[in-house]
Structure 1
Amino acid sequence: MSKNRKEINNCIKMSQNFLTSRFKINNCITKTNLSRNDIVLEIGPGKGHITDILLNKCSLVYAVELDFNLYNQLQNKFKNKNNLKLYHHDFLNWQLPNIDKYKVFSNIPFNSTTEIVDKLTKGKYSPEEMWLIMEKGASKRFIGSSKESLKSLEIKPFFEMDIAYYFQKDDFHPKPKVDIVLVHFKKKDVTDIKEVDKNNYFNFIKTVRTYGFEKVFTKNQLSRACMIAGLKRDIALNHIKYAHWISLYESYKYFNAK
């Protein structure tokens, strides 16, 4: 098997489509606010095409690579760079940096998108801002552009989200079959749910979306909660907007505090 074919097969196995054009990577990074003052994390740097640019743009780069051969290549490629901290590790089992502020820029493996976003948004040391390259379909679930999903409801209390850049399929190697975008996450200065309430809120939305309002409210409580939120009592769950979910949770918390 040729070296090029072997690389393509490895990409497919990891569900990772690589950006290799320096021009296209630079064009993408101009959509961010990354600067010389920033510490940035990259997940799955591969051969280091993005890493190289981040090292020249930011003060410090954390790079976490699972593939041992690629990790060795990165070590050799950047052996003279003193602003790189390179780790051979599975990112999902890697501890996020215990520092005050850092950002993330990464072309993540598409088959681990949900797990990676969960780790970055729910972790104890979550980043202040991040830009993740992912499939457009996945981005819709996180952003909740047409209707709220469980994931969008889990993230929105803590992060603002938007699509910062739309890629061409030809930008990647191998060429993906679906549309790819760069999603921007920015941590809210004041969160919509307090940190101490986070797990309770997660349990509330999961329970309601699985079993319905009857599992968490009495009939009278539900009528009152819907009135406060400005909702009809018989509204379908997938028609409820994010702000209404927050109102319903506040009512739930109030009723259960008595």
Structure 2
Amino acid sequence: MNQNIKFTQNFITNEKLLSNIMKQINIDENDIIYEVGTGKGHLTSKLAEKCKHVYSIELDKKLYELSSNKLQDNSRVTLINQDILQFNYPYRKKYKIVGNIPFNISTQIVKDAVFRSQASEMYFIVEEGFYKRMIDTRRTLSLQLQTQVYIQQLLPIPAGSFHPKPKVNCILIKLTRHISDIKDKHKKKYEFFISKWVNKEYSKLFTKNQYHQALKHARIKDLNKISYEQVLSVFESYILFNPRK
């Protein structure tokens, strides 16, 4: 990751906006929070006011030292100088994840939080285009994430709210964990299915007759307008037609 701060992070320092963000984040005095990116500690401080403890992970040495000085007297905050992509989230513990995350590694951060943590809720400030990709069922990322979490838009954040100002607007989103839609024994099969489905390689999944039956059962009339639930229905048909694969 580029160590130059101005190329990796965009900070929110406006008190009114920080307060609005906090109103959207569902935390209380019993919650443990893992924050992705301490930055300059503005959001960290707000989180610590409401929750039991904040573990904030920051890779950039300068930002880590800056925030350490700022938050050294706050007993509710533990700062960790580490790459979030190398960080191991706790196992069998209750916690939530919050972060204003760098645009260039948004995919890795979100996938790690969803698939390598046990957080019940995740709140991320992301680039608007990335959020749209997360809910686009024509994309692999969306079909992976939605098997584990509900994806919700909470608050639009204009580009002018950040320093330095990015070229794009952002959104505060919420990911709420639910019981996996895919059984463990079918996970590899699902990954194969969505890789072919997204690339429109339907003939590698179904015969022509099976394909039409699957679409009919899922009530799909337009392949460009398919809900996640309809994709799951097609996958269920794929399992029925291919029990031994």
TM-score, length-normalised on structure 2?
0.90
> Could you say which residue in structure 2 is the equivalent of 1:120?
113
Q: Find runs of 4+ consecutive structure 1 residues off by over 3 angstroms.
A: 9-12
Counterpart of 1:74 in structure 2 is 67
How far apart in 2 are the matches of 1:117 and 1:95? 14
CA RMSD of aligned residues (A): 2.0
Deviations 1:5-25 (A, max 9, x none): xxxx934321x2100123321
Q: Which runs of 5+ in 1 are unaligned?
A: 1-8
Match of 1:36 in 2: 29
Instruction: Name the CA shift for 1:240/1:27 in 2 (closer, same or farther; >3 Å).
Output: closer
Structure 2 residues without counterparts, runs of 5 or longer: none
Question: What's the CA shift for 1:133?
Answer: 0.5
Instruction: Check if 1:171 corresponds to 2:161.
Output: yes
Q: Who is 1:130 aligned against?
A: 122
1:185-205: CA deviation from partner (whole Å, max 9, x where unpaired): 1112x3322344333212210
**Aligned partner of 2:152 among 141, 162, 181:** 162
Residue from 205, 212, 232 that aligns with 2:201: 212
Offset at 1:62?
A: 1.4
Superposition deviation, residue 242 in structure 1 = 1.5
| Pairing partner for 1:254 from 217, 221, 240 | 240
1:183 aligns with 2:173: yes
Partner residue, 1:93: 86
User: d(CA) in 1 for partners of 2:187 and 2:94?
Assistant: 21
**What SS does the aligned partner of 2:167 have?**
coil
Tell me which residue corresponds to 1:201: 190
| Kept after mapping to 2: 8 A contact 1:143/1:162 | no
Tell me which of 27, 44, 47 is aligned to 1:51: 44
SS in 2 for 1:34: coil
Matched residue count? 242
Sort the Cα spacing of 1:231 and 1:27 in 2 relative to 1 into closer, same or farther, 3 A.
closer
Q: 2:217 matched to 1:228? A: yes
Q: If the length of structure 1 is used for normalisation, what is the TM-score? A: 0.86
Cα distance in 1 for partners of 2:33, 2:170 equals 22
